Amino acid sequence: MRNNITGGVVAVVAVVVLFVAYLSLFTVYQTRQALVVRLGDPIRTITDPGLHAKVPFIDTVIYVDNRILDLENSSQEVICSDQKRLVVDAFARYRIRDPLLFYQTVSTIEGANSRLSTLLNAALRRVLGEATLTHVVRDDRAALMLRVKEQLNREAQAFGIEVVDVRIRRADLPEQNSQAVYQRMQTERQREAAEFRAQGSQKSQEIRARADRDVTVLVAEATSRAEQTRGEGDAERNRIFAEAYGKDPGFFAFYRSMQAYETGLRANDTRLVLRPDSDFFKYFGDPSGKGLPTTSQSPASPQEGQNAGQNAAGEKKAGEKAAEKAAEK
């Protein structure tokens, strides 16, 4: 009986010892820091990961994040040194370096974010208020962010916080200013487009005038060459005709008369008013072309022969003209 009681007491003592040992030990992970508080009074800061001991029922362990934390800041309007307004959307990254100071000043991550947001807004206004719009948007953005980070980090040291980085996500003009800028940009682009169109139209007219001038010159040169070639052809034709006429005047006269008959006497109701014994029809009565016989007539005097020859030549020319007119019709 006594052995059973002794065994039960030992078991109870062992359980109590294990329970007290369990409450006396705690683990600190690599992503955390620990602050040991005894009856509300911080007594120890633990930054090394591993297994650590505390006084049970008296000490309390407060864990603090050891990672880089995010601070998302709401957009705010900033006035630059050139009196231009900007809506700035910035964010920051920070780490807790002194858990005790952090616990004593802001206690929690939410409290730290609230205090840092106020400090970040103030730093942005101070730094960006000394710069122009062009410097913020384009030229010195990285240098300005470095200045904001340095100021914010200096002020955050009072909370046991180290600021790692500060960045501007967006820096835009206010809505009303944006509309005015867009309209001004649109007007500027329209003016440039109109200027380009005018320059293009002027260039087009110059090219068209140059082309018309070149066409006129080319047409004039071509016409001159055509007239020259045509004159040379006419001269060559007349030379050939003259040469052919000089070789055999009789045959040439006969050939010309045949062409006149073919041209003037067509089967389209051609009418000629000529004397039957005219020189135009001399090859009808005599193939040799010496004219119609004149046996019934008395010999003519030299003056009459000359007049008859002139009349025959005139009638021949009249017949050729009539044949040419009929051919034209």
Confidence of residue 299 (pLDDT cuts 50, 70, 90): very low
Average pLDDT over residues 231-251: 82
The distance of Cα 132 from the centroid of its chain, to the nearest Å, equals 32
Q: Mind listing the pLDDT tens digit for each residue in 58-102?
A: 888 888 888 999 998 888 888 888 777 888 888 999 999 999 899
Q: What percent of the chain has pLDDT over 90?
A: 25
Beta-bridge partner residues of 34: 46, 63
On whether the CB atoms of residues 103 and 61 are closer than 8 A, the answer is no
- When mean pLDDT is compared over 183-187, 225-229, 244-248, 277-281, the highest value belongs to 225-229
Instruction: Output the pLDDT for position 320.
Output: 52
Q: What percent of the chain has pLDDT over 70?
A: 78
Instruction: Output the pLDDT for position 221.
Output: 92
What whole-number distance in Å separates Cα of residue 109 and Cα of residue 69? 9
Residues 6+ apart with CB under 8 A from 131: 80, 81, 140, 144
Supply the angle between the helices 141-156 and 109-128 in degrees, to the nearest 10: 140
Token output for 211 = 């082309």
Query: Domains, the chain, ranges and CATH?
Result: 2-65 (no CATH), 69-173 (3.30.479.30), 249-293+301-328 (no CATH)
Instruction: Output the pLDDT for position 51.
Output: 85
Which comes out higher in pLDDT, residue 266 or 162?
162
The C-alpha angle with vertex 96 and arms to 67 and 103, in degrees rounded to 5, equals 125
Query: How do strand 76-79 and strand 25-28 relate by DSSP bridges?
Result: unpaired
Average pLDDT over residues 207-229: 92
**Considering the entire predicted model, what is its pTM?**
0.49
Rg (Cα) of the chain, in Å, rounded? 62
Q: Mind listing the pLDDT tens digit for each residue in 190-206?
A: 999 999 999 999 999 99
Residues 6+ apart with CB under 8 A from 60: 36, 37, 38
Mean pLDDT of the chain: 79
Q: Three-state DSSP class for 62? A: strand
